[in-house]
A and B are shown apart, each in its own frame.
Chain A
């Protein structure tokens, strides 16, 4: 039996990455009772993921984490939100417990995940996302002396290359599908974002010497029971590279499932928000990647705006507006630079599995005209990942639009579905609703 707990908050923040932390801190500093619920064992999300090996947080991350500690935010780590049984209440599940979390205002900071595109051999063990491999290494996977090919698209590839190299991996090649021209334009545009310029120079130094191919993408991963080598396309030519790991991800897609479950409207696939980060649902805010993939700087600004707005400090949000605008432009720059080229639609062969949970091959999907039909008749998207991996892939391959979202928004224990919100017997801080 899951241990059942209740918590009430003035402001509940879902997601303990930079956006969520910034929101929670600003809200808590006004005196409100604030909680963060996050599924990872420690706060920081993906970008500020703590590492079991040597390796420190950035100064900025440390400052925010310290500030969070002193702000009185209640941290609920290792708990995953899966359901909204009634308005104003979210259910979150841990390994052996379940929480009923009630709130007056809700700030959704659910972040993003990598986009995976299928190609022959992509299901072999040791083919992982770029962020995926980085997360594994931060969680103790040894890569010293291992060969890692990095492929896909997005600034994450370079960040991962830098990190892996510091951990002792050898990186024969980084394959970026964007063209050299687009990348050059991106780098030149960085001049508008001084922080980013510094970052990019530092990055250039860290990955100096690692070959970077543009207009390049993986064609096939080879191996019997695990990865041996990868064939890539580079300047129209094929190259096969022996490697131990392939770290392959095609930029990021927003985690919009919980916002959609709660009724928030999307625009162009992102959660629609106004200048105060308010969604189309009363008392629900959204910050960070779900409103637009813009990285840490935008996340911190949006988080702070929402934290202040959720506690009624509208005037205080004004100081962030120009930064929000500027970093919003950076988000658009990311979108334009790293958009997917059409050649990537030809990567899967008929036998390539698209849905990994249910092992549904490309050839079976092609005969359907919608996500819904494919799901019903092949089971694609019916597995435990609930379409998070195959959904963005099929959206790109077939232009299918995803289904509506139903609870549980993540798989949860059957018994925890039976949660019935109880009347609050004791009030700790805040006022009864």
Chain B
């Protein structure tokens, strides 16, 4: 049975696949989304749901900034269970050296129209009284937000379905080929375009793309309303996210609208199993307590792990998959999948439909690594 009934088949109903499905369906294409589990169940379920502008590179900034704007535009339509909350981020500077970094970030963001504010030690304590004393200050980014990703993915999928998109859950894709995906029940789905949005599993389906799993841990507490107001991230987080080989932890906490505190973050390469890694967990928790000692006596209700899809240059792969004519990639988002999902969908769909993308897409094209090899 191989009737071409779809324009696009999307592998993966995580936030990125859902965002792509929503937009493609909005543009009138016939879409089917396939996922081996439930909607928003991979890194989408495991991650923090932080919508954050990042300045690691101009390309990363462009995509996160663009995407954050799209989230703000979408916000009025988001249902309550998505829990969108413009809590803002404070990048915490431990000492004067990190304050220099804060100033650099401030300049970078201000030049590009992002609202930011440098806050000193006193204002930091006022903003977040539960941070231990002695920090030098920080950078407040008031328009950063947090949300609950599985419900955001579900919202996007539902909108796609309302426009005719089909959803097939509980079925794995075993093979991607030109205009076709094969499922684990040996059925095939044929479409003009295949989009690989399978996150940490993407490289299994289109071998040769450089995606590595980067394991993370998170802890969530019981409800302590008012304890934390902003997402707090240590500046060392950037060093942790930057490193392409070291296991690392960084202080990163988020207030959920429920009053629960989400405690992160950790990064490991080469870990394939999803069991909690005690040394990493211990290290992450200790780091968190160094910044906010009162976290220590809070009740931790759950601990879990997840796998980010990481690329060597820390930018996602959005565009035609090298070696294929009809297969596109929308994956490799590492820790920024939630933030950049909407922007990813836009520039992917623009490429699929031949429309003009709003931002330059070259930095995210999957073919960029081939070009680099060609020059080497």
Contact with B along A151-162 (1 / 0, CB 8 A): 000000000000
**B19-58 contact mask (Cβ, 8 Å, vs A): 1 or 0:** 0000000000000000001111100010000000000000
B360 cross-chain contacts in A, Cβ below 8 A = none
In this complex, which of B39, B296, B300 has the most chain A Cβ atoms within 10 angstroms of its Cβ?
B300
Which B residues lie within 8 Å of A386 (CB)?
A: 301-302
Interface presence of B178 (CB below 8 A): no
Q: Taking the complex as formed, is B276 at the interface, i.e. its CB lies under 8 A from any CB of chain A? A: yes
> CB-defined interface of A121-140 with B at 8 Å, one 1/0 digit per residue?
00000000000000000000
Given that A376-B40, A377-B154, A417-B285 are contacting pairs, would A406 and B302 also be in contact in the complex, using a CB cutoff of 8 Å?
A: yes
- A-contact bits for B298-337, CB 8 A (1 contact / 0 none): 1111111000000000000000000000000000000000
**Are B282 and A384 touching (Cβ within 8 A)?**
no
In the complex the two chains form, is B281's CB within 8 Å of A418's CB? yes
The contact string, 1 if C-beta is below 8 Å from chain A, for chain B 253-291, is 000000000010000000000001011011101101100
Q: Quick check: A420 and B297 within 8 Å, CB to CB?
A: no
Known: A383-B301, A406-B304. A415 touches B282 (CB 8 A): no
**In the assembly, what is the distance between CA of A386 and CA of B304, in Å?**
13
A388 within 8 Å of B (CB atoms): no
Which B residues, 123 to 158, have Cβ-Cβ distances below 8 Å to chain A? Answer: 150-151, 154
- Whether A417 lies near B45 (C-beta < 8 A) is no
B70 within 8 A of A: no
A372 at the interface (CB under 8 A from B): yes
A359 to chain B, nearest CB (A): 11
Q: What are the residues of chain B within 8 A of A414 when measuring CB–CB?
A: 219, 221, 263, 285, 288-289, 295-300
Decide if B222 is an interface residue (CB 8 Å cutoff). yes
The residues of A that contact B285 with a CB separation of less than 8 Å are 414-415, 417-418
Contact size class for B?
20 to 34
How many inter-chain contacts with C-beta < 8 Å in the A-B complex? 85
Tell whether, in the assembled complex, residue B296 and residue A372 are in contact, meaning their CB atoms are under 8 Å apart.
no
Report the bound CA distance from A412 to B297 in whole Å: 9
Number of A residues whose C-beta is below 8 Å from B?
25
| A1 contacts the other chain (CB 8 A) | yes
On chain B, the residues within 8 Å of A370 by CB distance are 38
CB distance from A291 to the nearest CB of B (A): 25
Q: How far is the CA of A262 from the CA of B155 in the complex (A)?
A: 37
Q: Could you give 22 example pairs across A and B, Cβ below 8 Å?
A: A85-B278, A85-B282, A86-B278, A372-B38, A372-B41, A376-B41, A377-B39, A377-B81, A377-B150, A377-B154, A382-B302, A406-B304, A411-B222, A411-B301, A413-B297, A413-B299, A414-B219, A414-B221, A414-B300, A415-B296, A417-B300, A418-B286
A-B CB proximity, top 10 nearest: A415-B296, A418-B285, A373-B38, A418-B282, A85-B278, A376-B150, A411-B299, A414-B300, A411-B301, A420-B282
Known: A376-B45, A386-B301, A408-B302. 16 other contacts (CB 8 A): A85-B278, A376-B40, A376-B41, A377-B150, A411-B222, A413-B296, A413-B297, A414-B288, A414-B289, A414-B295, A414-B300, A417-B219, A418-B286, A419-B282, A420-B278, A420-B279
